[in-house]
């Protein structure tokens, strides 16, 4: 099968899932063509059967703003024609689904066709897409896609409700490489971060407002009143400066360690004790799944698709978003109760392996591709 994949090439969950899916499909012999404005960051090394096509964006002075959506349509058309693609799989609705639709219409003028599958990941539906200027376009693009998938039941239901869509949406969850993300002892790293055997809390995100990263620092403040602890913050984004200021204000600058963007997430997670995810919105929670696969209990908010992933009082704890006090109590309870902690840790790993392992999820995408191609 010849498949075109378009995603945002950044550190966000949608780009990570799209890239890992492409790599898995390529390993099974399918020809994968990534089409984006930059090389996805998870494609750091050569992978057989994977090709990259860069979207060139015009800088003509007349255009005050770059025309990425239109440039993407043109590049999609070019790749579809010259590489003889069977389908285009776009991740994140805006503008990828609209660009794919435009490419499909241009092909029809040449009496050719291409199947479009759109995977919805979260904020394209729950946040950005709900803006009045985007809502009609997102609705149209979804309805005109040949197939639509969502990463959680929550997101499927939210899409149908918000956009009044009368279209079948397949739920195919995010997945994990359980051999890459697994519990491993990293004593040297742990000693470097916590030389006095402090407990290590960890959070990974793109530091946007919706992730509520400052809440992790407030959780640490309350946890430290009971237990010596450190907080690792992995990632970067618009809220980092505010987080650094808050850490200094609470006199926690020595206990909050900003690691920035990191590729060695598995090693960092394996050296930590509890994963914090106090998000205001989260359609699935890929970074929480990565932590669970490394044997970390997760303390999170009860929003979006997180309750589908994190079974409360079994693999972790969930609380109302913004309830820093409750989340800190849950964290303290885990860290002070070794038997409960070990049980949660074991069940976190087991749940990741049983339900979200890549060899269970990727075949679902392949089956869906076949279904759409044969429809």
Look at residue 248 in the predicted model and tell me its pLDDT.
96
Pick the residue with more confidence: 102 or 59? 102
Under the banding of pLDDT at 50, 70 and 90, the label for residue 251 is very high
- Could you tell me the pTM of the whole model? 0.90
Residue 79 has pLDDT above 90, yes or no: yes
Quick count: other Cβ atoms within 10 Å of Cβ 85?
20
Tokens of 226: 């009971």
Interatomic CA distance for residues 280 and 323, integer angstroms:
11
Interatomic CA distance for residues 267 and 203, integer angstroms:
14
Q: Locate tokens 């805006």: which residue? A: 94
Look at residue 375 in the predicted model and tell me its pLDDT.
85
Pick the residue with more confidence: 96 or 131? 96
Q: Please give the average per-residue pLDDT across 336-365, as a whole number.
A: 96
What is the domain partition of the chain in residue ranges? 2-174+358-373, 187-356
Under the banding of pLDDT at 50, 70 and 90, the label for residue 169 is very high
Query: Fold match between 2-174+358-373 and 187-356?
Result: yes
CA angle 364, 23, 355 (to 5 degrees): 40
Q: What is the pLDDT of residues 284-327, one digit of tens each?
A: 999 999 999 999 999 999 999 999 999 999 999 999 999 999 99
What CATH superfamily is the domain 187-356?
Glycogen Phosphorylase B; (3.40.50.2000)
In CATH terms, the fold of domain 2-174+358-373 is Rossmann fold (3.40.50)
Look at residue 128 in the predicted model and tell me its pLDDT.
62
Query: What's the count of helices (H) and strands (E) in the chain, helices before strands?
Result: 15, 13
Across 64-78, 121-135, 304-318, the highest mean pLDDT is recorded for 304-318
Residue 53: exposed, middle, or buried by beta-carbon count in 10 A (0-12, 13-18, 19+)?
middle
Are 282 and 304 in contact, with CB atoms under 8 Å apart? yes
Under the banding of pLDDT at 50, 70 and 90, the label for residue 42 is confident
Interatomic CA distance for residues 206 and 235, integer angstroms:
5
Rg of the Cα atoms in the chain: 21
DSSP state of 219: H
């Amino acid at each position: 099968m010849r498949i075109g994949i378009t995603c945002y090439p950044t550190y966000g969950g949608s780009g990570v899932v799209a890239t890992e899916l492409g790599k898995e499909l390529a390993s099974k012999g399918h020809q994968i063509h990534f089409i984006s404005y930059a090389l996805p960051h998870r494609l750091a090394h050569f992978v057989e059967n994977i090709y990259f096509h860069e979207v060139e964006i015009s800088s003509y002075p007349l255009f005050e703003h770059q025309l990425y959506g239109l440039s993407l349509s043109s590049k999609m058309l070019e790749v579809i024609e010259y590489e003889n693609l069977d389908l285009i799989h776009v991740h994140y609705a805006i503008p990828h689904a609209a660009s794919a639709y435009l490419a499909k219409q241009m092909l029809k003028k040449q009496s050719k066709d291409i199947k479009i599958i759109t995977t919805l990941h979260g904020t394209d539906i729950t946040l950005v897409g709900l803006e009045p200027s985007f809502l009609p376009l997102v609705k149209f693009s979804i309805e005109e896609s040949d197939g639509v998938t969502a990463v959680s039941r929550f997101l499927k239901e939210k899409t149908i409700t918000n956009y009044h869509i009368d279209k079948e949406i397949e739920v195919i969850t995010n997945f994990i490489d359980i051999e890459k993300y697994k519990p491993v002892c990293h004593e040297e790293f742990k000693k470097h971060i916590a030389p006095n055997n402090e407990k290590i809390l960890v959070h990974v995100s793109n530091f946007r407002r919706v992730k509520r990263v400052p809440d992790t620092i407030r959780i640490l403040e309350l946890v430290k009143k009971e237990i010596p602890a450190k907080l690792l913050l992995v990632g970067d984004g618009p809220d980092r400066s505010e987080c650094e200021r808050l850490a200094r204000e609470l006199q926690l600058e020595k206990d909050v360690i900003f690691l920035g963007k990191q590729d060695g997430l598995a090693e960092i997670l394996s050296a930590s004790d509890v994963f914090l995810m106090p998000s205001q919105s989260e359609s699935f929670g890929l970074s929480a799944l990565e932590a669970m696969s490394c044997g970390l209990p997760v303390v999170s908010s009860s929003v979006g698709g997180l309750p589908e992933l994190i079974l409360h009082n079994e693999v972790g704890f969930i609380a109302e978003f913004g309830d820093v006090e409750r989340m800190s109590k849950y964290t303290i309870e885990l860290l002070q109760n070794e038997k409960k902690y070990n049980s949660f840790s074991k069940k976190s790993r087991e749940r990741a392996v049983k339900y979200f392992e890549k060899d269970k999820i990727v075949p679902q995408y392949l089956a869906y591709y076949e279904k759409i191609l044969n429809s």
